[in-house]
Amino acid sequence: MKRILLITILGICVVFFADAKTIKVGASKKCTTIQQALMFASNGDTVMVNKGMYHEKNLIISKRIALIGIDYPVLDGELKYEVVAIKASGVLMQGFKVIRSGVSSMEDFAGIKIYNCRDVIIRDNILENTFFGIYSQYGINCTIEKNKLTASSSEEQQSGNGIHCWKSDSMRIIGNFITGHRDGIYFEFVTNSIIWRNNSEKNLRYGLHFMFSSNDSYIANIFKNNGAGVSVMFSHDVKMIHNYFEENWGDGSYGILLKEISDGIIENNRFVKNTVGIYMEGTSRIKMNGNVFEKNGWAMKIQASCMDITVTGNNFLNNTFDMSTNGSLVLNTFNGNFWDKYEGYDLNKDHVGDIPYRPVSMYSVIIEKNPPAMILFRSFITTLLDKTEKVLPSLTPENFKDAFPLMKPLRL
Amino acid sequence: MKKIIKYVIIDILRNKIILAYTAFLLVLSFSIFSLEDNAAKGLLGLLNIILIIVPLVSIVFSTIYVYNSAEFIELLVSQPLKRRTIWMSLFSGLSSSMVLAFLVGAGIPVFIYQPDITGVMMLLIGVLLSVIFVAIAMLAAVKTRDKAKGIGIAVLLWLYFSLLFDGFVLFLVFQFSDYPVEKMMVVVSMFNPLDLARIMILLKMDVSALMGYTGAVFKDFFGTGIGMLLSFSVLLLWSILPVWFSIRKFNTKDL
């Protein structure tokens, strides 16, 4: 009985797949436009598009097909249209070059937009000068993989986000390269998703922007030289692991800006040459472990509105200031890190310093209150002030300290 | 003039203090670089040397040297030489030997441990500061006849430039904290060669922190080509003006 059932199912499958056909599109083929091919196609078909220039106006894919480009055929939006709209589940789009989408302040025109469907795969496309790059609206379980997105707008208003996900779930954003957009990757109301091995650099605003997006992870991405770094706001259970945050320079520019975040994990990231490595405000229950802060202006700015932040086992190297804060209330712990500015001793040779380290220097408190005082930084008088403060703490918060500072840097 | 410079330099080298200064700088810089586990921290130590020790030694040594060679100067004045030439040779001799000492003492370790733009900038600033404080010392020495008083003034001047002035600026910053004082700070820093020197090194060392709002104002000024040029010109002015004033004084001085 079982065998018969199996054979029947197999038989049905063979018939089903035998039905799927491949339609070729190209100048010398029967179909010269993709629109035509889409009309002929039915669910499960493959549309192969040869190299060439295609002006399809607004291409709407409403059947479950695989749309595959050979040698990157160009889809031109002529600066007027939304280039590709995917309105069916299970669509695969691969190997296209999408250029010049419309720009509008009323509508969110995108290079490729997913509307209310699931299991869509967008892979290996090149997007140039699109307003929004790849846009997912109510997408579920979609994969956006190995795309290269480049925009060249100079104003935030005239520019959309690279990969923009809105009210989506279970998204996989993997190995994309995004540059020149407003935000490299933008998440709003997106849950259970992963952002993995992307490279987001030189975007106008944020490299990655999270809003109201919970239970997401971003792992092994590079965020470099973005206008304002990375910002994660109003979310919970966000995991940030093995990312690089580099050269995010400017006032209000941060490696990561955390605002109203709870229950997150920040592990094994590298923060190099940022004005501020991590800025935290209204953040709670975050575990930070194994991160390296190197050559930043401020490694971390933790506002007094944060609580239960655990900073353990991180390396702080060559930062101008290790930490700064804006109040005297400290509800966080900073034990067991390596600080290169630590000047204590280790008598019992257990590799843990015997006296606590205070990461907030007096001068960072002064600069927090009075920024122009920065001009006196590293002068004789400020060095004297810092030394006196170390002996007799008065301005710096009493509890802001690492009670078990490490003597040697961790291998990270 | 060349001959007098030569005599001055030989005399200074025979003095051995300058040799001790060179050795001291050499030992100090080497130990700073080899004690710290990263070169950037070593550079920070070197910054303190440049901002504190170099000016102090330059100003005190030069003042004492000018007083001690009073008889030599009197002898030269009796010869058919312009006073201006005598004074300039003295200044050139003193400053070139201070510069030489600094370049040997700090330059070698920097080129071994930190041969990049920051290191070169530090050396350049150190050289300029050596010359500037020799110039200030000559002005201090020519103004007062009494040796003890002259040395006292020299030390006080050093204290003023390295500590009191900054204290005053800090006070100003806090008094005017409600106003946008960033631009004013740029102007104020021109009045102290040590501040100017420090900021120029800061731009190379703490560039990440300086990219914050206030820092950006400083960077926008000092970091640009014009700002850089202006800062260096002001530093040069700081070495030329005191010498010029001291020449005017020396020309009419009753020895």
**255 residues of chain B, pLDDT tens digit each:** 788 888 888 888 888 888 999 999 999 998 888 877 677 778 888 888 889 999 999 999 999 999 999 999 999 899 888 999 999 999 999 999 999 999 999 999 888 888 888 888 899 999 999 999 999 999 999 998 899 999 999 999 999 999 999 999 989 888 988 888 888 888 888 999 999 998 888 887 777 677 666 667 777 787 778 888 988 999 999 999 999 999 999 998 887
Strands A338-339 and A148-150: unpaired
Chain B partners of A296 at a C-beta cutoff of 8 Å? Answer: 208-209
Closest CA to A15 of A40, A41, A44: A44
Structure confidence at residue B214 (pLDDT): 65
Mean pLDDT of A130-137: 93
Is B208 in contact with A340 (Cβ distance < 8 A)? no
Residue A378 has pLDDT above 70, yes or no: yes
Residue-wise pLDDT tens digits, A53-91: 999 888 999 999 999 999 999 999 888 889 999 999 999
A14-to-A8, A10, A63, A124, B238 alpha-carbon distances in Å? 10, 6, 21, 29, 90
Averaged confidence pLDDT in chain A? 89
Contact (CB<8Å) B208/A296: yes
Tokens of A328: 């005297």
Q: What percent of chain B is helix, strand and coil (3-state, nearest 5)? A: 85, 0, 15
A234 to chain B, any CB pair closer than 8 A? The answer is: no
Q: Which of A274, A318, A375 sits opposite B189 (nearest CB)?
A: A375
| Residue from A318, A374, A385, A395 whose CB has the most chain B CBs within 10 Å, to mutate | A374
pTM of the shown model: 0.85
Q: How far apart are the first and last CA of chain B?
A: 20
Contacts of B37 in chain A (CB under 8 A): 340
Residue A4 is predicted with a pLDDT of 65
Q: What is the mean pLDDT of residues A145-163?
A: 87
Determine the Cα–Cα distance for residues A136 and A133; give it in Å rounded to an integer: 10
Residue A11 has pLDDT above 60, yes or no: no
Query: Which residue in A has a C-alpha nearest to residue B222's C-alpha?
Result: A375
**What's the domain count of chain B?**
1
Q: For the residues A115-119, what does the mean pLDDT come to?
A: 93
pLDDT at A157: 74
Asked if B51 lies within 8 A of A380 by C-beta distance, the reply is yes
CA distance B118 to chain A (A): 14
**Interchain CB contact of A345 with B (< 8 Å):** no
Which pLDDT score is estimated for A31?
A: 84
Quick count: other Cβ atoms within 10 Å of Cβ A305?
16
pLDDT for residue A368 is more than 90: no
In Å, how far is B173's CA from the nearest CA of chain A?
A: 6
Q: Closest Cα of chain A to B68: distance in Å? A: 31
Which chain B residues are within 8 Å of A274, Cβ to Cβ?
A: 208
Query: Does A378 lie at the interface with B, CB-CB under 8 angstroms?
Result: yes
Determine the pLDDT at residue A6: 63
CB contact (8 A) between residue B38 and residue A371: no
Question: Taking residues A259-278, what's their average pLDDT?
Answer: 93
pLDDT at B211: 65
First to last CA, chain A: 59
A382 neighbourhood in chain B, CB within 8 Å: 166, 170
Closest CA–CA distance from residue B31 to any residue of chain A (Å): 17
Q: How confident is the model at residue A369 (pLDDT cuts 50, 70, 90)?
A: confident
> Residue A133 — pLDDT band, cuts 50, 70, 90?
very high
Cβ–Cβ gap A380/B166 under 8 Å: yes
Residue of A nearest to B186 (CA): A375
Q: Given a cut of 60, is residue A15 above it in pLDDT?
A: no
Taking a contact as any Cβ pair under 8 Å apart, which residues of chain A between 287 and 306 contact chain B? 295-298
* pLDDT tens string A180-192: 999 999 999 999 9
Separation between Cα atoms, residue A70 and residue A100, nearest integer Å: 20
CA distance A358 to A365: 12
**Could you tell me if A46 and A22 are in contact, meaning their C-beta atoms sit under 8 angstroms apart?**
yes
Confidence check: pLDDT of A16 > 60: no
ipTM for the whole complex: 0.80
Q: Are A337 and A360 in contact (CB under 8 A)?
A: no
Residue A328 has pLDDT above 90, yes or no: no
Pick from B40, B47, B170: CB nearest A381:
B170
Structural domain boundaries, residue B242: 2-251
Mean pLDDT across the stretch A152-162? 82
Q: What is the pLDDT of residues A284-298, one digit of tens each?
A: 999 999 999 998 989
Domains annotated for chain A, with CATH where assigned, are 47-391 (2.160.20.10)
In terms of Cα–Cα distance, which of A136, A87, A138 is closest to A110? A136
Say if the Cβ atoms of A320 and B208 lie within 8 Å.
Answer: yes
Q: Do A379 and B51 touch (CB under 8 A)?
A: yes
Spatial distance between the Cα atoms of A96 and A337, rounded to a whole number of angstroms? 48
